[in-house]
Structure 1
Amino acid sequence: MTAQYQIIVQNLSSQPADFYAFQDQATFQNAGSPASIKSSCLAGSSLAPHATSGSQLKFSFDKQVYAGAIGIGANEAVTRFNARISLDTTESVGIQTSAAQPISLTPLAAGQKADNYSTMSLNPLGLSTPIEKQGLPGGYFGVEIPVYTPSPTPELFCGCATINQNGTIVLSSFVSPHPNSQLYCAPVSKYFVKVGDFEVGAVVPYDTSHAATCDFTLGYQVIKVVYNPDGTFTTTGS
C-alpha cells in the first residue's frame, strides 16, 4: 500500500460546514511565455459540528509523486458526457482522457540517480514509464511535450497529479504546456484546507488566505485541522 499523508478535520463551530483541500502550487519551467498555473480541488465534504456528532473528516494523499496529463476532446452528445472541467469563467464539457505515472524528483545532491523524466504521447494520450534524465533542476520532474496545435481554448494540460481511491486522476497543479517543449514541474508536499463547497477535480481559485496550512515538508505524517467557532483554523502536526 502506498504511504500517505493524512489530514484530520474537526468542526468546532455550532453549524455544519463544507471543507475542501488543495495543494500548494508547483513551480513550473517551460519554453516560451510563462504559463498560467491552475489548481484543483483534491478532496471535499460537509462536516457536522464535532460537539454534537463526534464526526471528523480524513483527507489522505499519496506521498508518491505522479506526473499527470489530461486531454479534453471535442464536445459530444449529452448522453456521452463522461468528464467535465471548468477553467476560469469558460466551461468546456466533453470527453476527457487522462494519464498518470509515478515519477521521482531529481535529487538535490549531485551524483544520485532518479527516474525523473516521462514522454507524453498523443492520439491516444499517454505518459511513458519514467527514465533517468540528466540536467534537470533538483526537486523537479520533467515531461517531454510533443508537437500539437493548441486551439483557442486550451485542451491539453500537464502537471502533478493525484489518484483517488476510485482510480480517478486529478491534476493537482497544472499548466497548458507549450508544444514541442520540455515541461519541468516541482511539486510541494503542502496542502491547504478551506471552507467551501467544490467537487473533486473542480478548478479552484488559488487563495491561501483564511486557510489551514498543512505542511508535510516539516516531517509530519498526520496533521489535525480544527475549525474554530470564530472561523479561524488551528493545526497540529504529528
Structure 2
Amino acid sequence: MADSVVQAILDATQDPHVRESMLLGSRLESSWNPNAVGDNGTSFGPFQIHLPAHPGVTATQAQNPAWATRYMLSAYQRGAAAQPESLWQSNPERAAEQAAVAAEAPAASYYSGRGAESVHAAWRATVGALGGHAPTDGASPGGGGAGTPGTAQDAGLFDFGIGGLISVIAVPFAMIAQPFTEIGTLLTWWWTNRMKVAFIAVGVVFFIVGLVFFAKDNLL
C-alpha cells in the first residue's frame, strides 16, 4: 500500500522540494496508508483530507493515492515555495516539515504535535523512498491533517534536535563567510584567466595611446 502512495507522489511532480514535502507530510499523516481513516471517521487517505473542510471531496477520492496527490499538490507547492532556499540547503527535514504544515494545516506543527523523533523517523523513510528503497507501512495515522481547523505553530527550540540546532548556529557563519567566498571566486577566475586579462589590458592601453596620437595629429 505504501508503494502506491510514494509512486503517486513521484509521478505527480519532479520538483525535489515538493516531493520531499509531500512524502514527509503523507508519511506523518497516514504512514503512506491510502486506506487510512482518522479524526473519528472524518479524515481519509494518505493526506488525511478532512471531509468537513472539503465538502466536494468524497472518501473514495481521498483514499485514491493518485487523486489525493493531485488534489493536494498545489497546497504543497505553495508550502515548499514559501521556505527559503537556505533552509532547504541547511536543514531539508525542517523545510519539508514546515511545507507540510503549511499544506496540511494541522493544529500544531509536527515537531510539537508528534514529537521530534516521529518527524526524524518520517524523514528517514522519505529519504529512503527517494533513494529507491521499498517503502514500508508505519504506525497508525494521526489525523488532524488537510483542512483540519487549527493554526500551525512553530516547533520549540529543542524540537529540532542536534542537527537542527547546529544548522541554526551555522547560518550566521555562512552569511559572514559569503563575501569572502565571492572574493575567492573572483580571485580564482582572475588567476585562471590572467593571460587573457593581460592581453585585454595591453590591447586597451594600445588603443588609448593610438587615440591620443590620432587626436594630436588630426585635431591640433
Q: Same fold (TM over 0.5)?
A: no
Larger RCO, structures 1/2 (Cα 8 Å, 6+ apart): 1
Q: Which has the higher helix share?
A: 2
- In the superposition, the TM-score normalised over structure 2's length comes to 0.22
Give the greater-gyration-radius structure (CA): 2
TM-score by length of 1: 0.21
